[in-house]
Structure 1
Amino acid sequence: MFTGLIQSLGTYQHIGEDALKISCAPETADLILQDLAIGDSVAVDGACLTVETILSQGFVASISPETIQRTTFGAPAEERWVNLETSLRVGSKLGGHFVTGHVDGLGQLEAAVQTARSWELSFRTHSSAIACYVLPKGSIAVNGVSLTIAECDRAGSWFKVAVIPHTYAETNLRYLTPGSWVNLEGDILGKYVEKFLRSRFSGEDASEGDRPEAPWADLTPEFLAEHGYL
């Protein structure tokens, strides 16, 4: 479990087909390496990887076929900046939101506009696994960075976030250009709510006698607004 608050930048290199060598930026490497142990989890651009070898300035982690398929690590090998965060510890501050490090899919930056107080970044995704969790004021992790959705279209395939100067300067979001691919993870709380409601209104996992009368299709934005949820 992570918070989406980035501790350090790093670079990565592919080692064969199923491993990455992560090198931490020297000025912030201690934040990642000071008590890193074999078997620890580190979010690399939002993807939870397990430390298998510790190096003087980084670590080595394997990547599964699922990770390659769902993340930017499946792109042609290149050395680029990645965001790094060690796992959340019991008693630590939760300044972002609950991030699992299980990337749902990819998106692309459409535009980055500097305003007086922030950077406004807009993204588009063709992944239905992401779009269904995109809603105004909802949480989303972009390359592992915890962000709040400021605006989105009805389908959830396009959204905009406001990034404060500190976050922009300390993460790899500042290196993105229009067309850059990013890893996206929807809010885990939304996933559990969806699962509960889908079971409740569609009758999944319910016996014949316990199935509710209301179908899943009745759970509309109008229904929620009428009952005080929007």
Structure 2
Amino acid sequence: MFTGLIHTLGQVVTQTQNRLTIAAPMSYFPDVAVGDSIAVDGVCLTVTAYDSQGFTAATSPETRQRSTLGQRLWVNLEPALRVGQKLGGHFVSGHVDGVGSLTRSERVGGDFWELDFSAPPAVGRYLIPKGSIAVNGVSLTIAQVLGNGLQAAVIPLTYEATNLHHLRPGDPVNLEADVLGKYVEKFLQPGATNPALSENFLTQHGFMGSGSNLVQ
């Protein structure tokens, strides 16, 4: 489990069909060990080797097919969340739901940025205003829903400290929708195992209806 708060950028130095080697300042990963998980552009990968210069992670054909891994030189890195650590972003599993693309990038209000992204229907169904989404592993708040896509307002620190500032319109990005929306959807499906959780229950408790944006 991750939070979407990027610790540092890494640079892909070598890659094969089953392996990715990334140069990174390992001071951000002082307790790293073989078998640990690190999110690379939002994709949960397992460390197979490491040294003071970086680490190597295994990548399956399925992972490459469903993500942008191997297509970008600079990647966002985040170690797995440990028990007792602060959760500053939102719950991110490291399982990419789909690949979207940057459609617009505009500097507004000084150093702030507005970024628009397209998203496949598998992601678009979970987008809500003021909800959360992980873009290349970065936890962002959705400012507006644009059809199946979204607009996010990005603060200067996030923009400069991640590979979001490397993106140009048309560039692909990894997208992971908020897992909470997926659970709500599952519980509302016909035949759900918890009959107490219904649209009426959610409306009564403020999770649905005219006063809420959690479920649409």
TM range (shorter): 0.7 to 0.9
Q: State the distance in 2 between where 1:55 and 1:213 align.
A: 51
Matched, 1:38 2:26: no
Provide closer, same or farther for how the CA distance between residues 69 and 225 of structure 1 changes in structure 2, counting only shifts above 3 A: same
If the length of structure 1 is used for normalisation, what is the TM-score?
0.82
Provide closer, same or farther for how the CA distance between residues 161 and 213 of structure 1 changes in structure 2, counting only shifts above 3 A: closer
Number of paired residues? 206
Q: State the distance in 1 between where 2:126 and 2:61 align.
A: 24
1:178 aligned partner: 169
Q: State the distance in 2 between where 1:159 and 1:229 align.
A: 19
- Contact preservation (8 Å) 2:186, 2:192: no
Q: Could you say what the CA RMSD is over the residues aligned between the two structures, in angstroms?
A: 2.4
Matched, 1:62 2:62: no
Higher-Rg structure is 1
Q: State the distance in 1 between where 2:86 and 2:58 align.
A: 29
The alpha-carbon deviation at position 192 of structure 1 amounts to 0.8
Amino acid at match of 2:212: Y
Identity %: 53
Runs of 4+ aligned structure 1 residues displaced above 6 Å come to none
1:229 aligned partner: 212
What SS does the aligned partner of 1:195 have? helix
Matched, 1:51 2:47: yes
The alpha-carbon deviation at position 85 of structure 1 amounts to 0.3
Q: State the distance in 2 between where 1:14 and 1:132 align.
A: 36
User: Which runs of 5 or more residues in structure 2 are unaligned?
Assistant: none
Residue 81 of structure 1: which of 53, 74, 79 is its match? 74
Amino acid at match of 1:197: L
Which has the larger share of helix? 1
If the length of structure 2 is used for normalisation, what is the TM-score?
0.87
1:149 aligned partner: 142
The alpha-carbon deviation at position 79 of structure 1 amounts to 5.6
Q: State the distance in 2 between where 1:137 and 1:121 align.
A: 15
